[in-house]
Amino acid sequence: VVLPVVIALLAADPDAGYTRSLARSAPRHCVRWSENTVIEWRANVDGNPETPGDTEFDAIRASFKTWNDAMAGCATVSFKEGPRTMNRKIGYLRSASEVDKNENIIVFRQKLCTDPPPAGAPLSDSCWNDEDDDDDCGSKYDCWDQQRAMVAVTLTTWEPGTGVLQDFDIEFNQPSFIFTTVDSPACVPPNYALTCVAWDLQNTMTHEIGHALGLDHSPSTDSTMFASAPVGETKKRIVDSVSREFTCDVYATGQKSSDCVLSPYDSKIGAPKGCGCSTGPLLLCVPLALLWRRRRVNQRAG
Ligand SMILES: [Zn+2]
């Protein structure tokens, strides 16, 4: 039996302009949702206590609508809002008895895991060095366990061996950043306030949803998927044309979601890569290496 080998990817499609996220384990498939999936998301009921009223939920909803509008008429997947959830645990439960409990959640962490206990996680806790189970400090102690300079992070889980997405969760680093929901004017550092645009929630959220769909970062500063965002930025609220093209290509109407496999497995490409971290708190993310080290092989943060 000769198994078909699909070879398509970054190098094979240099004009694509977007970068797809790859599964971390060989065979390295591009991660993607199955065709015709309606992806339900649930905001944690606590939202962001700092933003006025329900504006954080409105900003989250608007971000998903932006992607739904971009994908309408060309893609077979879409997002749908589910009921708010009490759940604050990220990741994916694999056991048959628990698989129905999985939710795609959006949660604002209120404290840093590195804070002294009882707020943070005790240094002696095994969650700090656990690499291969779901015992991560962030979920265990309900705290931000990524680098302080990261604004937000998306954790996706895919099916081992196929790259088919099963779950995503988005966390916001509220202890370190002021997330705002106004449209203008930009805040002038160091005078951050909720009445000007500091770290625009919708700007950040729209970027993170791109990761949830299987997009990796773009080197283009004009892209929704560019890895960093300055204070006052709102342009990532809009899905750029290249990122939209990704959804139309990968989730094309009438077709199966497009897979690809990196072949042969290239350990160099598999190596962790940075995402322009020299600018400190302007980042949406930090080097993925730091995250992967503590994540299951079939999950990734971006
Ligand atoms: Zn990112």
**Residue 147 C-alpha to ligand 1 middle, in angstroms?**
14
pLDDT at 210: 97
pLDDT at 41: 98
**Residue 219 C-alpha to ligand 1 middle, in angstroms?**
11
**Residue 168 C-alpha to ligand 1 middle, in angstroms?**
14
pLDDT higher than threshold 60 for residue 25: yes
> Mean pLDDT, to the nearest integer, of 237-265?
91
**Residue 97 C-alpha to ligand 1 middle, in angstroms?**
32
Tens digit of pLDDT for each residue in 38-49? 999 999 999 999
pLDDT interval class at 160 (50, 70, 90): confident
Cβ-count burial of 72 within 10 angstroms (0-12 exposed, 13-18 middle, 19+ buried)? exposed
**Residue 270 C-alpha to ligand 1 middle, in angstroms?**
18
**Residue 208 C-alpha to ligand 1 middle, in angstroms?**
6
pLDDT higher than threshold 60 for residue 175: yes
> Mean pLDDT, to the nearest integer, of 187-202?
96
**Residue 222 C-alpha to ligand 1 middle, in angstroms?**
14
**Residue 226 C-alpha to ligand 1 middle, in angstroms?**
7
Distances (CA, A) of 284 to 6, 57, 188, 197, 226: 32, 20, 19, 16, 9
pLDDT higher than threshold 60 for residue 159: yes
**Residue 230 C-alpha to ligand 1 middle, in angstroms?**
13
Whole-structure pTM value: 0.84
Instruction: Select the more confidently predicted residue: 12 or 153.
Output: 153
pLDDT at 13: 44
> Mean pLDDT, to the nearest integer, of 144-155?
93
pLDDT at 299: 53
The Cβ of residue 291 has, within 10 Å, a number of other Cβ atoms equal to: 21
Start-end of H helices in the chain: 55-71, 137-141, 201-213, 241-250, 288-292
> Mean pLDDT, to the nearest integer, of 279-298?
34
> Mean pLDDT, to the nearest integer, of 160-182?
95
What percent of the chain is predicted at pLDDT more than 70? 80
**Residue 87 C-alpha to ligand 1 middle, in angstroms?**
23
> Mean pLDDT, to the nearest integer, of 207-229?
95
**Residue 129 C-alpha to ligand 1 middle, in angstroms?**
24
pLDDT interval class at 130 (50, 70, 90): low
Instruction: Select the more confidently predicted residue: 278 or 240.
Output: 240
**Residue 221 C-alpha to ligand 1 middle, in angstroms?**
13
**Residue 285 C-alpha to ligand 1 middle, in angstroms?**
5
CA separation for the pair 206, 210 (Å, rounded): 7
Contact 71, 8 (CB under 8 A): no
> Mean pLDDT, to the nearest integer, of 97-118?
96
The Cβ of residue 119 has, within 10 Å, a number of other Cβ atoms equal to: 15
> Mean pLDDT, to the nearest integer, of 296-302?
47
| Residues in the 5 Å CB sphere of ion ligand 1 | 284-285, 302
pLDDT at 280: 27
**Residue 300 C-alpha to ligand 1 middle, in angstroms?**
11
**Residue 96 C-alpha to ligand 1 middle, in angstroms?**
31
Give me 171's structure tokens.
């966390």
